[in-house]
Structure 1
Amino acid sequence: MKIAKIEDLHCDAGWRDFSFLKITTDDGLVGWSEYNEGYGSAGLTAVIRRMAQGLIGQDPRPVERIMSTIYAITRQAPGGMNQQAMAAIENALIDIKAKALGIPVCELFGGPVRDRLPLYWSHCGSYRFRNAEVMGVEPVRSLDDLVKLGRHVKERGFKALKTNIFRFDLDPPNMYQPGFGRSPGGPELNADGAVLAAISDGLAAFRQGAGPDMGILLDTNFNFKTEGYIKVARACEPYNLFWLEIDSYDPEGLRLIRDRASMPIASCESLFGRRQFRPYFENRSIDVSIIDVPWNGLAESLKIASMAEAYEINCAPHNFYGHMSTLMSAHLCAAMPNFRIMEIDIDDVPWKDDLVTHPPVIQNGELIVPTRPGWGADINEEAVRAHPPKNPHP
């Protein structure tokens, strides 16, 4: 078996594009992976194309050997888009190998520990400020809308939801994202009284609607510095958070936050590889380690999870992409013993299901781990072509 062709496909997904890597072998097997050019990674497709060009004619099945070679080639520029490109290639190769053996991907890594994965409804309310029309849902305009949405999540059978910081005092109301340069508050990133009040009001609304048993997670991204995160943690105390999610490149500072917070701390979704995760484990900076499979690759993600296990830390995937990413992340969650909960975006464009041959199956707030070979689905190329991307890739 030899790699015969490597292609990238892209489609419109409302407020962003979805991107897929397709590796085809000379005997007709196809491996798929999903990657993302947003999130600070513009130009990733060009890196993937350059990195993959030397793989034509190689046997795709010795995945560890191939990836070790690519890692050596990129050793002087680790992480970043090089790692994301490596992950896209690794994930597609893993799909091929599992399909060649006629088994689900998780069987390559010891088999599933579990066949049902508890989910949390991610970005709950977040996309409804600007994208409600394209999703065909009611927009969020007030705290009352958050109460109704919390009630809706509970009625759908979900046991947990994750939300962001919403500012209803802005014109128009929207998410608070100074850490990404998308709203006032940067670059200083201070937690002032208005922001803390907005956090408290939003959490109170979700708690009212979803009830006392709903797990509520708050994602604060890179929106504060260490001092501000400590203030945020104190503001969240009345609402019994499932976890407070923080992005920080300072493992010792994050440990300080964790020491002063009354709720579990989750972090690390923006890290690459075991070397970047290690100081967070050694400093006991987190209660839950978040791992991005499209960024790290499934094999590397499982190595990170294994290292976390030695520090008694459970893991969760970073998964706010399309269905192919959800299936990739599901196999991580199925295979790693130290699993906490799985992220999924429920609010999305109406054609999201059409983009894969077998959309994820969700029952009572849990994802059923697919048992078909590979990831459990392929990309529906006709559906992808029916929704041309906003940003063409010549």
Structure 2
Amino acid sequence: MKIARIENLHCDAGWRVFSFLKITTDDGLVGWSEYNESYGSHGLTGIIRKLGERLIGQDPRPVERISATLYAITRQAPGGMNSQAIAAIENALLDVKAKALGVPVCALFGGPVRDRLQLYWSHCGSYRLNQAEKMGVEPVRSLDDLVKLGRHVRERGFAALKTNIFRFDANPPYMHQPGFTRGPGFPELNTDARLLAAIRDELAAFRQGAGPDMGILLDLNFNFKTEGYVKVARAVEPYDLFWLEIDSYDPEGLAYIRSRAGMPIASCESLFGRRQFWPFFENRSMDVAIVDVPWNGLTESVKIAAMADPYEINCAPHNFYGHLSTLMSAHFCAAIPNFRIMEIDIDDVPWKDDLVTHPPVIEDGHLLVPTRPGWGADVNEDAIRAHPVKS
């Protein structure tokens, strides 16, 4: 078996682009992976193509050797888009190998450990602020809307939801994201009494609608400095959070925040590889390690989880992409023993299900791990072409 072709496909996904890598072998097997260049990784497709050129004619099945080779030739510029490109190639090769063996990908890693994965409804209300029309749902414009949405999540069978920071004291309301230069607060990333009050009001509304048993997760992203994260953690203690999610590149600073927070801390979704995760484990910086499978590749992601296990840290995937990414992340969750909970975006464009041959199956707030060979689904190329990327 030899690699014959490497192709990239893209489609419109409303407010971003879904991107896919297709690796075809000389005997007709096709391996797929999903990657993303809509959030700071512009030009990733070109890097994937450049790295992929040297793989034409090679056997796709020794995945570890290929990944090690690609890492070695990018060793002087590690992480970032080089790591994302290697991950996209690695994930597609794993799909090929599992299909060749007639097994699901998680079986390549000794799994499945479990066949049902607890989910949390991610970006709950976040996309509804500005993208409701594209999704065909009711927009979120007030705290009352959050009460209704929390109730809706509970009625859909989910036991956990994650949200971001909303500012309803502005017209129109917006999501507080100065860490990404969106809205006021950049570059200082400070907090104040009005912002803390807005966060408390938001959590109270979700708690009112979703009920006392709903796990509520709050994602603070990169929107504060250490001082601000501590202030937010103290402000939200009465709302019994499932976790407070923080992005930080400072393991000691994050450990300081954790020591002063009255709830679990989750972090690390923006890190690459064991070398970047290790100091966070050594400093006991977080309670839950978030691992991005499209960024790290499943092989490296499983190794990160194995490294986390001796520190008594469970892992959760960073998964706010399309359905193929959800399936890739599901195999990660199925393969590792130290699984916490899985992220999924329920609010999305109406054609999301059409983009894969077998969309994820969700029952009572749990995803059923697919048992078909490979990831358990292929990309529907006709659907991709039906939704071209808007220029």
Could you state the TM-score of these two structures normalised by the residue count of structure 1?
Answer: 0.99
Q: Which residue of 1 aligns with 2:30?
A: 30
- Alpha-carbon distance, 1:258 to partner: 0.2
Separation of aligned partners in 2, 1:2 and 1:387: 31
Separation of aligned partners in 2, 1:228 and 1:365: 33
Separation of aligned partners in 2, 1:185 and 1:170: 14
The letter of the residue matching 2:36 is N
Equivalence map 1:126-165=2 (5 Å):
126-165=126-165
Q: Which residue of 1 aligns with 2:80?
A: 80
- Alpha-carbon distance, 1:310 to partner: 1.1
Separation of aligned partners in 2, 1:260 and 1:38: 35
Partner secondary structure for residue 54 of structure 2:
helix
State the number of aligned residues: 391
Q: Which residue of 2 aligns with 1:280?
A: 280
Encode CA deviations 1:8-31: one digit per residue, 9 max, x unaligned: 000000000000000000000000
Q: Which residue of 2 aligns with 1:346?
A: 346
Q: Which residue of 2 aligns with 1:117?
A: 117
Q: Is the 8 A contact 2:105 2:374 kept in 1?
A: yes
Partner secondary structure for residue 23 of structure 2:
strand
Q: Which residue of 2 aligns with 1:212?
A: 212
Separation of aligned partners in 2, 1:376 and 1:256: 42
- Alpha-carbon distance, 1:193 to partner: 1.1
Q: Is the 8 A contact 1:34 1:325 kept in 2?
A: yes
Q: Which residue of 1 aligns with 2:255?
A: 255
User: Comparing 275-284 with 162-171, which one deviates more in the overlay?
Assistant: 162-171
Partner secondary structure for residue 275 of structure 1:
helix
Q: Which residue of 2 aligns with 1:11?
A: 11
Separation of aligned partners in 1, 2:166 and 2:182: 13
Partner secondary structure for residue 302 of structure 2:
helix
Q: Which residue of 2 aligns with 1:367?
A: 367
The letter of the residue matching 1:78 is P
Encode CA deviations 1:110-153: one digit per residue, 9 max, x unaligned: 02000000000000000001100010000000000000000000
Separation of aligned partners in 2, 1:102 and 1:235: 51
Separation of aligned partners in 2, 1:279 and 1:143: 39
Partner secondary structure for residue 359 of structure 1:
coil
Q: Is the 8 A contact 1:176 1:183 kept in 2?
A: yes
Matched, 1:228 2:228: yes
Encode CA deviations 1:165-212: one digit per residue, 9 max, x unaligned: 000122210110000001100100001111111110100000000000
What are the ranges of 5 or more consecutive residues in structure 1 without an aligned counterpart? none
Partner secondary structure for residue 378 of structure 1:
coil
Separation of aligned partners in 1, 2:317 and 2:170: 32
Encode CA deviations 1:287-311: one digit per residue, 9 max, x unaligned: 0000000000000000000000011
The letter of the residue matching 1:303 is K
Separation of aligned partners in 2, 1:232 and 1:138: 29
The letter of the residue matching 1:159 is A
The letter of the residue matching 1:290 is I
- Alpha-carbon distance, 1:59 to partner: 0.3
Q: Which residue of 1 aligns with 2:68?
A: 68
Q: Which residue of 1 aligns with 2:193?
A: 193
Q: Is the 8 A contact 2:323 2:360 kept in 1?
A: yes
Instruction: Calculate percent identity across the aligned residue pairs.
Output: 82
The letter of the residue matching 1:238 is P
Partner secondary structure for residue 348 of structure 2:
coil
Q: Which residue of 2 aligns with 1:333?
A: 333
Separation of aligned partners in 2, 1:199 and 1:378: 40
Partner secondary structure for residue 19 of structure 1:
strand
The letter of the residue matching 1:178 is P
Q: Is the 8 A contact 2:99 2:373 kept in 1?
A: yes
Separation of aligned partners in 1, 2:383 and 2:166: 34
User: How much is the aligned-residue C-alpha RMSD, in angstroms?
Assistant: 0.5
Matched, 1:103 2:98: no
Separation of aligned partners in 2, 1:181 and 1:347: 24
Encode CA deviations 1:311-360: one digit per residue, 9 max, x unaligned: 10000000000000000000000000000000000000000000000000
Q: Is the 8 A contact 2:111 2:336 kept in 1?
A: no
Q: Which residue of 2 aligns with 1:317?
A: 317
Q: Is the 8 A contact 2:147 2:206 kept in 1?
A: yes
Q: Which residue of 1 aligns with 2:20?
A: 20
Separation of aligned partners in 1, 2:236 and 2:37: 33
Separation of aligned partners in 2, 1:116 and 1:61: 28
- Alpha-carbon distance, 1:73 to partner: 0.2
- Alpha-carbon distance, 1:390 to partner: 2.5
Partner secondary structure for residue 276 of structure 1:
helix
The letter of the residue matching 1:132 is A
The letter of the residue matching 1:328 is M
Q: Is the 8 A contact 1:70 1:86 kept in 2?
A: yes
Q: Is the 8 A contact 1:16 1:390 kept in 2?
A: no
Separation of aligned partners in 2, 1:191 and 1:245: 16
Separation of aligned partners in 2, 1:51 and 1:177: 34
- Alpha-carbon distance, 1:272 to partner: 0.2
Partner secondary structure for residue 47 of structure 1:
helix
Q: Is the 8 A contact 1:17 1:390 kept in 2?
A: no
Partner secondary structure for residue 130 of structure 2:
coil
Q: Which residue of 2 aligns with 1:291?
A: 291
Separation of aligned partners in 1, 2:78 and 2:249: 16
Separation of aligned partners in 2, 1:309 and 1:288: 11
Partner secondary structure for residue 145 of structure 1:
helix
